[in-house]
């Protein structure tokens, strides 16, 4: 699949995007990269042999609050984590009904300072 199956860009914090259904394998790193603002909902999805299902940008030139909801996702190892977020930029994550408890649900990190919106 390469590095990212989809990258989400936008500057509107009220924007909600939904990925409903589908799957990805193998993924060199991230499946979904969230560089813009708003909320991404990933549901009824399957992922196998991956790094992260979702990653919010940690070094974009403009940083936004980013939010992700992961619902009813089937995860097959190997994999690093379901989501990776930046707590110092106000990112949030909700992971509900995922099917593989051996993986790390969420990886939190503090990203380098940049322009904050």
Reported as a single tens digit per residue, the pLDDT across 38-73 is 999 999 999 988 888 999 998 888 888 899 999 999
- DSSP one-letter code for 102: T
End-to-end Cα distance, the chain: 32
pTM attached to this predicted model: 0.83
pLDDT at 102: 56
Q: How many residues does the chain have?
A: 117
Q: What is the pLDDT confidence band of residue 110, given thresholds at 50, 70 and 90?
A: low
pLDDT at 96: 86
């Amino acid at each position: 699949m390469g590095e990212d199956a989809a990258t989400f860009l936008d500057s509107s914090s009220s924007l909600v995007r939904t990925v409903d259904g589908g799957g990805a394998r193998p993924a060199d790193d991230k499946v979904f990269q969230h560089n813009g603002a708003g909320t991404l909902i990933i549901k009824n999805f399957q992922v196998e042999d991956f790094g992260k299902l979702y990653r919010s940008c940690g070094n974009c030139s403009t940083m936004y609050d980013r939010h992700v909801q992961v619902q009813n996702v089937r995860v097959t190892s190997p994999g690093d984590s379901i989501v990776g977020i930046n707590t110092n930029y106000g990112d949030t994550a909700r992971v509900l009904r995922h099917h593989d408890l051996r993986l790390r649900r969420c990886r939190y990190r503090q990203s380098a300072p940049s322009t904050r919106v």
